[in-house]
Amino acid sequence: MSGSAAVILDVDGTLVDSNDAHARAWVEAFAEHGITVAFEHVRRSIGMGGDKLMPEVSGIEEASSLGKEIAASRGRIFQEHHLPSIRPFPRTRELVERFADDGFVLAVASSAKADELDPLLERAGVSDLLALRTSSDDADNSKPDPDIVIAALKRTGCPADRTIMIGDTAYDVAAARRAGVEIVGLECGGWTREGLAGALAIYKDATDLLEHYQTSAFARVRA
């Protein structure tokens, strides 16, 4: 293949070990408003945007007055109590540097809010490598709808057939495929290989992908 190629990266559960933290923040936010939700149900829904997660786990719409209050509580709780302890997965920066060294155009497609995305990338240690960023604020519909991925793809200026996404949830897989983009799955976010069905390939984490990089889709796209 010839011409520019791109890698679109999810962040939570892909670059940083944050999915449990997001789930706890949601559970704590609901509890502040007298609502009990099951941690496992919330955890399984991480990767969706809040607009989809809230009705999924509680029946409350994010656009409602109560929904807005809960969402605001979650944001505060996450930033104050969970964000400081979040760490990147091993060799995350090395993987992103490998993509950059190979000449890929790099972009982020995250369900996080814009005001959380930058600090998450700082925690990941890759903020300086990822200038093209799309968040839930850049899309009408969050994952698993394709809007965020399509927005990221447009920012790369690369064709869909020369773009590969990396994600860790079934919602990433669905969003990428609906956008016409192949996706490589990582299990480090907590989803099984079965849960990531539909991905072009599945690796345990950044380390596993780096160790098999030469035989991966990324090496083929750059060939």
Taking residues 19-42, report their average pLDDT.
98
Q: Is the pLDDT of residue 1 over 50?
A: no
Taking residues 121-135, report their average pLDDT.
96
Q: Is the pLDDT of residue 2 over 70?
A: no
| Per-residue pLDDT tens over the stretch 68-88 | 999 999 999 999 999 999 999
Q: Is the pLDDT of residue 192 over 90?
A: yes
- In this prediction the pTM is 0.95
Taking residues 47-63, report their average pLDDT.
96
Instruction: Write the DSSP assignment of the chain as a string of letters.
Output: --S--EEEE--BTTTBS-HHHHHHHHHHHHHHTT----HHHHHHHBTB-HHHHHHHHHS--TTSHHHHHHHHHHHHHIIIIIGGG--BPTTHHHHHHHHHHTT-EEEEE-SS-HHHHHHHHHHHT-GGG--EEE-GGG-SS-TTSSHHHHHHHHHHT--GGGEEEEESSHHHHHHHHHTT-EEEEEGGGS--TTTTTT-SEEESSHHHHHHTGGGSHHHHHH-
Which domains does the chain carry? 6-17+87-222 (3.40.50.1000), 19-85 (1.10.150)
pLDDT of 215 reads 97
